[in-house]
Structure 1
Amino acid sequence: MSRAFDASVVGAGPNGLAAAVVLARAGLRVQVLERAATIGGGTRTAELTLPGFRHDICSAVHPMAMASGFFRRWGLEQRVEMIVPEVSYAHPVDGGTAGVAYRDLDRTVEGLGVDGATWRRMFGRLVELEDEISQFTLSPILQVPRHPGAVVEFGLRILAQGGPWWDAGLETREARALLAGVMAHAIRPMPSLSASAAGLTLAVHGHGRGWALPRGGSQSIADALAADLVAHGGVIETDSEVTDLGQLDADVALLDVTPRQLISIAGDRLPAGYRRRLERFRYGGGASKVDFALSGPVPWSVQELAASPTVHLGGDRADVARAEHDVARGRHSDDPFVLVVQPSVVDDTRAPAGQHSLWAYAHVPSGSTRDMTEVITAQIERFAPGFRELVLASHSFSADELEEHDPNYIGGDIASGAPSLTQLVARPVLSTDPWRTPAKGVYLASSSVPPGPSVHGMGGAYAARSALRHEFGITTLPALGPDRKATA
């Protein structure tokens, strides 16, 4: 029976769109089906509060997009204006001081005082090896690393910060908090090797290619991917929920979903043993998100925070670790870690003139239904007295509502699967080709496969590469760079 398409991609998040672009660039007829009314998945942007205030619904800052081999080959910075701020992230502590991670390593070292030399020893060589480290962290874990020396150096730093000895070497609250805040992105108990690996990766990019924000919002990335796909013959259909593979008009399917949805959609096409392995896949802690429309800039107690698009809140290292342990045990912390992004300090398209948009989430137990607006407001007010008076409007997603908005966020897990050490190796199963399922022509192309969470498109690109090889006999990746056809 003749099919209208060579391949169908389910889900128009960054991984689904990346997979579709690779397939279309290889000359295949590609269809993308998205259940929501708009494309983007974790890269959607919308006016959630008031007209003129543009808020990123999930991801907001993109160090991994800048490091991604797929996006670099595709020419992300030629297609989307990526704003790279001077300050990558900052972390205030009580008492009116803060640790500040500038993109400039020397400036960071100077600002950390007595801990500056230790910070340089920790990151100086790793920043020089940023591309080699990216190649390792964004590759299949079972693949032999191309740069084993860089992997060894990176691994030693992970060990140094991944156990109970993690305070050794850093003397000040500011430096310890600065490192704890970036590790907390993993939503994992701390200290742990998985949190250490995630945090050090992000910190290296903070001093390397930077923590970039797309001008106009994260939607800009999704829109650019979609434009390239359509320019090469692809078709995108929104408001099209797929609940069974029989709905697809193609023999090859790439699914930007988690293992839970894969089981539901593929059904008996998956062997029982493989389904059982997928059922053992574990989801992590959740995020409860609040967006604010502000009448003016946040009145931070520490002046340097006014220039930092990303600010980590939650006190010193011990406070952050305690909050993350609470989440891991299924409890709401009384003093949660809060991640704040104030994009309008570098991007004037995010709010009306003189006003600001602010994006924030707190870590909460999986499936939490609690509205964290007041808790997040109080945490910001703690380090920015007077913040409350600036709020014109707010919009909140509980962890439970985040899953309702995007089924890939099981229980509010924005990583689509706990990034534990085990599940970074077996994601979702231990395999040299984890994107390819035992069901003929069915591939998993989401953050639930290597290299895991974040906006880098690599999970989709790897799935597309596997499908090209096994289903179409194409062993050479197509050219991905910008061309007249894609940018016209």
Structure 2
Amino acid sequence: MSIRPVPEVDVAVVGSGPNGLAAAVTLARAGLSVQVLDAEDTVGGGARTLDLGLAPGIVHDICSAVHPLALASPFFAAFDVEARGVRAIAPVASYAQPLDDEPAAIAWRDAERTAAGLGTDGRAWRATLGTLSRHQDLVVALALGDKRSLPPALLDPAALAVAPLFGALIGAQGSPAWNLPFRTERARALLGGVAAHAIGPMPSLAMAATAGLLGTIAHGAGWPLPVGGSQSIIDALVADLRAHGGQIRTGHRVRTWRDVPPARAVLLDTPAPAAADILANRLPAPFERALRRFPHGDGAAKVDFVLSGPVPWRDPEVGEAGTQHLGGTRAQMAHAEAEVAAGRLPQRPTTLVSDPSVVDPGRIHDGLRPLWAYAHVPAGDTTDPTELVTAQIERFAPGFRDLIVAARGIPASEMDAHNPALVGGDISMGRVTMTGMIARPTARWDPYRLAGTGWYLCSSATPPGPGVHGMSGWHAARRVLEREFGITAMPDLSPTRSS
């Protein structure tokens, strides 16, 4: 059924996360009137930075803290956040994988240094991730496209070699042969830790694709942390939106289509089932059922710490990385992820940790610093994760407990309290599978358009999937411009253009 009220604005966008704002900025730049609605009192969704009241002067990144994709994605490259005053610093080591019985494996920005530290596996690392990192733009174009068209970057002759190499890495690491070509536990665990960002059974093609993309960027642009926190990226988007006439209404929860002002087009930065709820009985019944069936992914449970000093990693080099993957060996991580997938809480969950003061000492106040961490747990798990995460860090950093000044744990079941999109702790807005990354949330040719309603889905529930990259919003905005407004040319997003 078509919904065509007398428009109050050209476009309404529900949700002010990175994808919602990417869509809003793009549409406002095209000369349309845009209004963004958000249920929370602050803008930014999972990329907000807030004072949680744990210690004076200490602010915490609510969900996203480290941003491998924020500077690498084509949307943010076009928007050029750095030219807008956002300082994002990539540490000398992108990520680290501490182990119980041998030295930690470190993914340095320098691929050669990383390979040199992996002994007999150095050659294989150079041949795969080292080679891919020299063609980062092509890998990113492959991974962050809409899965419906050929990205222009792939017309580069180098793509003839890069695409097969990327595909071969995914095929090998996503199969039972995933221990090939790497022979040492350190190399296998190092790649396994970055694969685990996708939260799911290991091995799998989706986890392997995640490892290939993020591992490539680790040796290319690196994994930067924005100075002052993730909010700086959001603030740059908001400033540009407002400069082009866009409006933002916070504290406005959208439960049904009636809660949205009349608009010629509406974009939803929400999970797929939430879109079905908002448009209940106003979509073709088979399509509405398909949206509701799009499965939520497994959960993440968050812990925000305040520490009196740096984490005392057993291997000091681990502290030079912006992100630590705590899970031990590849087999140990695979076991923990299998437990999560089976609905059981692991005793040693895969845990991601980041201390932003590694590159941003301004986050330290009166000797105190924030520490960001989350653990993989079953969807909707009600366990306070504080002790589980503390024990996992203590495992690789003896004495960590003695540094804790304050901590706030958020069970997966409560993650949606500060962001309605994170249902049950699902930070990916849907289960991450290779099929699901293409047919996301359904197998329709246009995964963004919600049938014939003038409403669109622009969240991570659409291609290319999870991550702070803005690409889902950008892809959706392109379709809105063409289909709803007859605008075929995408607007210039550069900060030097005022319109």
Is TM more than 0.5 here? yes
Q: How far 1:77 sits from its partner (Å)? A: 1.9
1:211-250 matched pairs, under 5 angstroms: 211-247=223-259, 248-250=261-263
| Corresponding residue of 2:191 | 179
Is the contact made by 2:357 and 2:364 (CA closer than 8 Å) also made in structure 1? yes
Q: How far 1:353 sits from its partner (Å)? A: 4.5
SS of residue matched to 1:251: strand
Query: 1 CA distance for matches of 2:392 and 2:65?
Result: 20
**CA deviation vs aligned residue, 1:369-388 (integer Å, no higher than 9, x gap):** 10110111011011111100
Query: 2 CA distance for matches of 1:60 and 1:320?
Result: 22
Query: 2 CA distance for matches of 1:388 and 1:407?
Result: 32
* Aligned residue type for 1:138: L
Is the contact made by 1:93 and 1:173 (CA closer than 8 Å) also made in structure 2? no
1:423 aligns with 2:443: no
* Aligned residue type for 1:441: G
Point out the more displaced range, 182-191 or 266-275: 266-275
Q: How far 1:446 sits from its partner (Å)? A: 0.4
Relative to the length of structure 2, the TM-score reads 0.95
SS of residue matched to 1:309: strand
| Corresponding residue of 1:159 | 171
**CA deviation vs aligned residue, 1:182-221 (integer Å, no higher than 9, x gap):** 0110101001111111111100000011101111101111
* Aligned residue type for 2:212: L
SS of residue matched to 1:63: coil
Point out the more displaced range, 477-486 or 182-191: 477-486
Is the contact made by 2:37 and 2:249 (CA closer than 8 Å) also made in structure 1? yes
Q: 2:450 aligns with which of 437, 462, 468?
A: 437
Query: 2 CA distance for matches of 1:95 and 1:52?
Result: 38
1:339 aligns with 2:352: yes
Query: 2 CA distance for matches of 1:242 and 1:306?
Result: 42
Is the contact made by 2:128 and 2:165 (CA closer than 8 Å) also made in structure 1? no
1:277 aligns with 2:290: yes
> Identity of paired residues, percent?
51
Query: 2 CA distance for matches of 1:309 and 1:155?
Result: 28
| Corresponding residue of 1:330 | 343
| Corresponding residue of 2:323 | 310
Point out the more displaced range, 289-298 or 167-176: 167-176
Query: 2 CA distance for matches of 1:211 and 1:323?
Result: 25
1:108 aligns with 2:114: yes
Please report the RMSD computed on the Cα atoms of aligned residues, expressed in angstroms. Answer: 1.4
Gaps of 5+ in 2: none
Q: 1:291 aligns with which of 281, 304, 310?
A: 304
| Corresponding residue of 1:198 | 210
**CA deviation vs aligned residue, 1:204-246 (integer Å, no higher than 9, x gap):** 0000111011111011111110000000000001001112222
SS of residue matched to 1:300: coil
* Aligned residue type for 2:294: F
* Aligned residue type for 1:231: A
Q: 2:24 aligns with which of 20, 27, 46?
A: 20
SS of residue matched to 2:363: coil
Point out the more displaced range, 275-284 or 141-150: 141-150
Q: 1:479 aligns with which of 447, 470, 492?
A: 492
Query: 2 CA distance for matches of 1:178 and 1:377?
Result: 21
Q: 2:419 aligns with which of 385, 406, 431?
A: 406
Relative to the length of structure 1, the TM-score reads 0.97
SS of residue matched to 1:6: strand
| Corresponding residue of 2:143 | 137
1:39 aligns with 2:51: no
| Corresponding residue of 1:300 | 313
Point out the more displaced range, 30-39 or 109-118: 109-118
- Consecutive aligned runs of 4 or more in structure 1 exceeding 3 Å deviation: none
* Aligned residue type for 2:58: F
